[in-house]
Structure formats: structure tokens, C-alpha cells
Amino acid sequence: MGTEIDFVGFADDCRVEGKVDLDDARLADLLNTRQIIVVRDVTLVSTLDGHTQALDQLEIDRDELDVVVASGPRGDPKRRLATKPNGVTVKLGPYSAEGFLHAPPTANPVRGFGHRPTMVAITDAVVEYQFCSEPVSEWFRTVLVNREMAVSLRTVANPGGMQPGAA
């Protein structure tokens, strides 16, 4: 068993909150190497009507997750590459995520998006969605968006009026 970390994921009709055992270096590595994620001590919160359901354990297919809030360790600093933050907006099902997609300085972040692993990090991210028919906007230091669930991706000059790392 690995390190237990908090898990918050957004499926099309609910928010999934609980704990996962991190056997990999980072949550992104876990999500990119496993199709099925086991979440324990789960609370499902319906985005449609707000009702909740508690479960001891839930096996969720990665393809059911549009967005996951990054938590736990950031991984080995020696493996990090120099990147440039690029402002982007990603639309995924009922969610949109706006923030900074990091890519090599000379790379086109939109063109390279399809060549990345399934779960792609966006920093200083604002996730917007409807909760009980009301608009919600939440800021997270880093989210992982499911590239395979993305409907659209476009660059933006200054996502949320922020500079990268300003929060």
C-alpha cells in the first residue's frame, strides 16, 4: 500500500471525493498508468441536485473523469524540464478549465496536446460548471484534465486575469 492522498474528481454528473493509495510518484502518474482507479471513503455529490451518497469504495474508470484536482507529491524535481506556461481554456463535458498548460518554450501547446498522456496538468486553474443549476467557479493550484474527454482547447492571453504562479 502506498501513501494515502485526498482525491477530488469531476465526472459528468457528480463530484467524487475520497482517498486513493498513491503507489506511483504522483497522482498524474497513477491516473496515466491505470484505467481503473480505486477510491475509498467516497462521497459522491450530484451536480444536478446536490444529493450525496457515501460509499466505502468505488472503482471508477479514468474515462469517466473529466477533471481531477492534483494532490499529493509533485514528483522528482530532477525529472522536471524547463517549460513555458501557456494560457488555455479546455472544455470537457459540462466543465471548462482555464489556466496554464506548461510546454517546452518552442512548442505549440494546442498542437502538442494530442501527444500528451491522457491526464494533462493545468496550473492556476479555474474550473467552471453548473451545480444545482447555478454557476460555480473554483480555483485550484493544479488540475489534471482528461485529454480524451476534451471537446475543445484554445489558447487565451491571460486566463482568469492571472499571471502564471501569481496565486
Residue 166 has pLDDT above 70, yes or no: no
The pLDDT, as a whole number, for residue 160 is: 64
pLDDT tens readout for residues 70-97: 986 565 555 566 788 889 999 999 999 9
Confidence of residue 143 (pLDDT cuts 50, 70, 90): very high
Residue 124 zone, left/alpha/beta (φ > 0; ψ -120 to 50; rest)? left
- Helix boundaries (H) for the chain: 27-33, 109-112
In the predicted structure, residue 69 carries a pLDDT above the cut 80: yes
Identify whether 73 is part of a domain: no
57 and 84, same domain (yes or no):
no
Q: Write out the E strands in the chain.
A: 3-11, 14-22, 36-46, 52-61, 65-69, 84-92, 95-103, 119-131, 134-146, 150-155
pLDDT range class, residue 118, cuts 50, 70, 90: very high
> What domain range includes position 10?
3-68
- Based on the fold, state whether residues 56 and 95 are members of the same structural domain: no
Q: State the pLDDT at residue 80.
A: 60
Q: How far apart are CA 16 and CA 99, in angstroms?
A: 22
| Cα distances (angstroms) measured from residue 93 to each of 19, 35, 65, 158 | 24, 19, 10, 23
Shared domain check, 60 and 34 = yes
Could you give the strand order of the β-sheet that contains 14-22, starting from the edge strand earlier in sequence? 52-61, 36-46, 14-22, 3-11, 65-69, 134-146, 119-131, 95-103, 84-92, 150-155
Percent of all residues in the chain with a pLDDT value above 70, rounded to a whole number: 87
At residue 124, the pLDDT reads: 94
- Other residues' Cβ atoms within 10 Å of the Cβ of residue 82: 7
**pLDDT beyond 60 at 119:** yes
Predicted local confidence at residue 156, as pLDDT = 86
Residue 108 clears pLDDT 70, i.e. is over it: yes
Same domain, 113 and 157: yes
Provide the pLDDT for residue 74. 64
In a domain, 101, yes or no: yes
Confidence of residue 113 (pLDDT cuts 50, 70, 90): confident
Distance between CA atoms of 159 and 155, rounded to whole angstroms?
9
Please state the domain count of the chain.
Answer: 2
Whether 55 is covered by a domain: the verdict is yes
Are residues 55 and 87 both part of a single domain? no
Which residue do the cell numbers 494530442 mark? 114
Taking alpha carbons only, the member of 76, 66, 78 closest to residue 122 is 66
pTM of the model: 0.89
Q: How many CB atoms lie within 10 A of CB 21?
A: 15
Tell whether 93 and 57 lie within a shared domain.
no
Is 92 in the same domain as 152? yes
Residue 74 maps to a domain: no
What average pLDDT does the segment 44-70 reach? 97
The CATH number given to whatever domain includes residue 114 is 2.30.30.100
